[in-house]
Amino acid sequence: MCQRRCVSLALFIILLNSLLPTPAAAQTGRVGGVVKGEDGQAIKGATVTAENPNIGQSLTATTDDKGRFVMIGLRGGQWRFVSQAPGFTAEGAIASVRMGAPNPPVTFVLKKTGNANFGALGGLSAKDLQAELDRAEAMFKEERWDDAIAAYRGVLTQAPPLAVIQLQIAAAYRHKKDYGAALTAYRDLLKAEPNNEKASIGIALTEVEQGDIEAADRTLLEAAQGPAAGRDVFYALADMKLERGDLDQAITYYQKAAEADPAWGKPLYRLGMGALKKGDTPGATKFLQQVIAVDPVSAEAALAKTTLDTLNK
């Protein structure tokens, strides 16, 4: 469980799953697209990450010399795509993915940051970068934590703009139970990207693993109050409040998570269960019906249907 939870935190690191064209793979989704700048020029070596927190799946691809990328193996449902390239501002998009059917292309138009220091990947080509990350990821999956850390640091040395690699480095340290080193990696990422909420969530998870619940609560609360706070940090803080028995505060932050991403079923399901705990059956029914409407293929939708069946008996 810890490994799955840790791996799901990584942006721009977990590589594209290369699936063979077997009958099983034919039933998964395929999404392609292009990444370009405001001038219309293709961006080579840009990173595109697709995340579906409802199923714990995350895929990453890099663009070719024409700015094109392809992802194979996505399950049906709502996905969040994020594209980033050195020297450009990251951009996100939400798209519904269908299995076994053509999906519309996803196009990103990235704006330049104006920082010339981030204009190149230290001489690494997209192909070389992908190979180095593949090698590091293989070590991570084999639980060769020290080797994986060294490999990721090697990529980071050659391509300093990819500071998000610190997420995987921190995850490896957490597996080793070297919590001090994990916190250092997360904080190094926050120095480079002050609004990286996954780093803040990672710090809180590490503090929980250290047994310092109060510190974790403070970390998430501070992140949730930031100007760039998003759905993930709101949801993590809501879970923290719920675990500490503060249902009212949990509901407040589940609502914020739902507002940040109206197509995400997880916070809506939590809101429905919270309403049930308060004896508000009509309110619970409304939230559970929303889960089914906006996120129909999620695990929460199945749970919502079961709960509604029970309520209607």
- Domain presence at residue 46: yes
Residue 33, Cα to own-chain centre: how many angstroms?
A: 19
Overall pTM surpassing 0.75 (yes/no) = no
In the numeric block, the tokens 């269908």 are attached to 98
- Domain presence at residue 276: no
Q: Which amino acid is at 72?
A: I
| Average confidence score pLDDT of the chain | 80
Q: Quick one: pLDDT at residue 303?
A: 93
- Domain presence at residue 62: yes
Q: Quick one: pLDDT at residue 22?
A: 33
Q: What is the mean pLDDT of residues 238-260?
A: 90
- Domain presence at residue 238: no
State the greatest distance between any 2 C-alpha atoms of the chain, in Å, as a whole number: 65
In the numeric block, the tokens 């798209």 are attached to 95
- Which has more pLDDT, 291 or 116? 291
- Domain presence at residue 142: yes
Q: Kindly write down the DSSP assignment for every residue of 187-251, as one continuous string.
A: HHHHHH-TT-HHHHHHHHHHHHHTT-HHHHHHHHHHHHTSTT--HHHHHHHHHHHHHTT-HHHHH
129/127 Cα distance (integer angstroms): 5
pLDDT digits 0-9 by tens, 15-67: 223 222 333 333 467 888 999 998 889 998 888 888 876 666 678 888 888 88
In the predicted model, is pLDDT for residue 7 greater than 70?
no
Q: Select from 148, 172, 152, 170 the least CA-distant residue to 162.
A: 152
| Torsion region of 10: left, alpha or beta (phi above 0 gives left; psi -120 to 50 gives alpha) | beta
Q: Quick one: pLDDT at residue 174?
A: 94
Q: Which of 26-30, 69-73, 204-208 has the highest mean pLDDT?
A: 204-208
Contacts of 113 by beta carbon, 8 Å cutoff, 6+ apart? 87, 88, 89
Number of domains in the chain: 1
In the predicted model, is pLDDT for residue 6 greater than 50?
no
Q: What is the mean pLDDT of residues 294-307?
A: 86
- Domain presence at residue 202: no
Q: Which of 173-187, 217-231, 234-248 has the highest mean pLDDT?
A: 173-187
Angle value at C-alpha 288, between 282 and 290, nearest 5 degrees: 105
- Domain presence at residue 259: no
**Domain extent at residue 184:** 2-190
- Domain presence at residue 127: yes
Q: Is 58 exposed, middle or buried (0-12, 13-18, 19+ CB in 10 A)?
A: buried
In the predicted model, is pLDDT for residue 101 greater than 50?
yes
Token pair for residue 129?
């970068």
Strand partners for 91 = 83
Q: CATH no. for residue 165?
A: 2.60.40.10
Q: Quick one: pLDDT at residue 313?
A: 77
Q: Which of 78-87, 227-236, 301-310 has the highest mean pLDDT?
A: 301-310
Q: Quick one: pLDDT at residue 123?
A: 53
- Which has more pLDDT, 296 or 240? 240
Token pair for residue 198?
């996954």
In the predicted model, is pLDDT for residue 226 greater than 70?
yes
Q: Select from 267, 261, 259, 257 the least CA-distant residue to 291.
A: 267
In the predicted model, is pLDDT for residue 175 greater than 90?
yes
